[in-house]
Amino acid sequence: MVEFSRLHISRSAAIRAKLDYPVIDTDVHTNDFTPAFEDYIATYGGAQLVDELRKAENYRLNSKVDGKDWYQQTPEERQYYRTLRAPWWARVTRNTLDLATYTLPELLYERQAEQGSDYSVLFPNNALAALGAKPENRQALQRAINHYHADIYRKYSDRLTPVAGITMNTPEEAIEELEFAVKTLGLKVINIPGGVKRPIKAIADKYPADQYPEIAKYAYYIDFFGLDSEYDYDPFWAKVVELGVPITTHYGSQGWTGRSSISNYMNNHIGHFADGSQAFAKALFFGGVTRRFPQLRLGLLEGGADWGAHVYIHLVDRFSKRNLKALQNYNPDLTNANELFELFERFGTEITKGYSLGKEELVDTVLGASFSRYSRQPVGSELEDFAAAGIETIEDIRDRWVNNFFFGSESDDRTIAAAFNDKANPLGVKINAIYSSDVGHWDVPDITQPLAESWELVEEGVISEADFKAYVFENPYKLYTEANPNFFKGTAIESKLAKVESQSVDKPLATV
């Protein structure tokens, strides 16, 4: 019989016992027990839906070339096909208790205290498995998956809630699944892909996918649902706000330029979640989505929080140089031809000897062909990259970047210091870093360690105690309750907040 004695010696449990506020874990990964899961899918949609699930899962985890995956290919074949080294040994296995914990809802629920958490948002491994399904089966499979997760975790809802996977191939499809997940299943958080691959039409028209599948496999771009999207996703964002749903995504970039090694998984892995989420978030910002929907709350997970500060700083820096007024510094029409000609006459005779150029011709030569007065210049909205985002001041950047986005950081991620560096971040803000333990993946070999590892950042002076409180409670609380004020109604968080507040009326727990 398994003894849970570690509860009494868990460092994370000891840290939690000293805190006067709850701990909210925004990123726990769980495994579906395959026999039960597939039986549920079969009952829901028939054996063909199970076949579709298996094909989709195989495609997602282990793409094949000529019928062979990476491990079946020789080194020469990997080089020939440039087969990406995919993730491997990505689950905890030696820690058998944890392996069972991620698979058994009741056991996970019982070990919450040992983990040092009061509430966890769960990401089952099949949450978005339907992404790889055929279009005609995609929605049915996604609906079955969400229904299964809603059913098996419903009795544990005071401390655990699973996400609803939402496919985003079209706004209409996304809205249908969103409404079903929220209104019918009662799920409270959605998990979306940060982008969807679409064919490049100029190539697809010339080389149809059904005739040239190998070309279609590579001739695509990624639609990030905001800037330059093929569809208007505003109806979807509007429905998200209407239903009061926080959005999450684990969008990665393995396989992108610089992350396409055929031999080294770590080369492809380091930083890939940050890059993928950055592309998604910038598309929403520059596409004006966060301007039109300031109530949207989006959690960008597994990429750390330093990139959120990095982008925020660079948005401000670039806006100061590329706003509509400042752009006149680079307007070729404002080059003083007389002054330039005089300077060349005075200082340039050595390099211009033998060349005879008039004033206007000299300007065009110095500026180069791309800035020539004879090339078409941008006009109207083409002049301002910040136009769709509606940025007029740096405060607008803060409001449309810092307020909307929350950045999931693992417990031992020391780069979180950048998020809380209000001396470096413009306007003295702190980026919304949120505690995302990532338990269930290879970077967490022991479920009892993450909270304690985060507290070590306080002990080492990387972040302050106030930052720690924001990280594990205040910011996650904001993410969920600013989208839905009733998010924690009936949960352990609600009861624990009420208990703390009743014990310290004169000392509010937090400003949230």
pLDDT digits (tens, 9 = 90+) for 428-445: 999 999 999 999 999 999
| Token pair listed for 321 | 């140089």
Percent of residues, the chain, with pLDDT higher than 70: 93
pLDDT at position 507, please? 46
Mean predicted confidence (pLDDT) in 281-296: 98
pLDDT at position 505, please? 46
pLDDT at position 61, please? 47
Q: Length of the chain, please? A: 512
Q: Which amino acid is at 231?
A: Y
Place of tokens 């006149």: 328
**CA atoms within 13 Å, Cβ hemisphere of 205:** 3
H or E element at residue 350 = helix 349-352
Continuous H helices in 169-212: 171-179, 201-206
Percent of residues, the chain, with pLDDT higher than 90: 79
Which pLDDT tens digit goes with each residue over 311-356?
A: 999 999 999 999 999 999 988 888 999 999 999 999 998 998 888 8
pLDDT bucket at 1, cuts 50 / 70 / 90: very low
pTM: 0.93
Which pLDDT tens digit goes with each residue over 9-57?
A: 799 999 999 999 999 999 999 999 999 999 999 999 999 999 999 987 6
Degrees, nearest 5: CA angle 231-236-240: 155
Instruction: Specify the CATH number of the domain 21-321+393-503.
Output: 3.20.20.140
Query: Contact, 473 vs 463, CB < 8 A?
Result: no
- Neighbour tally for 404: CB within 10 Å: 22
Q: Which of 456, 407, 460 is nearest to 429 (CA)?
A: 407
Where in the chain do CATH 3.20.20.140 domains reside?
21-321+393-503
pLDDT at position 60, please? 54
User: Residue 422 pLDDT > 50, yes or no?
Assistant: yes
Q: Residue 129's Cα: distance from chain center in Å?
A: 17
- Angle, helices 171-179 vs 234-243, to 10°: value is 10
Degrees, nearest 5: CA angle 493-498-504: 125
Mean predicted confidence (pLDDT) in 460-483: 98
- DSSP-derived letter for residue 155 is G
pLDDT at position 86, please? 84
Q: Which amino acid is at 386?
A: F
pLDDT at position 63, please? 62
Supply the DSSP string of 388-454, one letter for each residue. Answer: TTT-SSHHHHIIIIITTEEEEE-TT-GGGGGTT-TTTSGGG----EEE---BTBTT-S-TTSHHHHH
Burial of 423 by CB count in 10 Å (0-12 exposed, 13-18 middle, 19+ buried)? Answer: exposed
H or E element at residue 29 = strand 24-30
pLDDT at position 368, please? 81
Please, what is the average pLDDT of the chain?
92
pLDDT at position 325, please? 92
Mean predicted confidence (pLDDT) in 106-114: 95
User: Residue 510 pLDDT > 50, yes or no?
Assistant: no
Which pLDDT tens digit goes with each residue over 165-179?
A: 999 999 999 999 999
Query: Contact, 148 vs 42, CB < 8 A?
Result: no
Mean predicted confidence (pLDDT) in 136-155: 97
Mean predicted confidence (pLDDT) in 197-214: 93
User: Residue 407 pLDDT > 70, yes or no?
Assistant: yes
pLDDT at position 369, please? 63
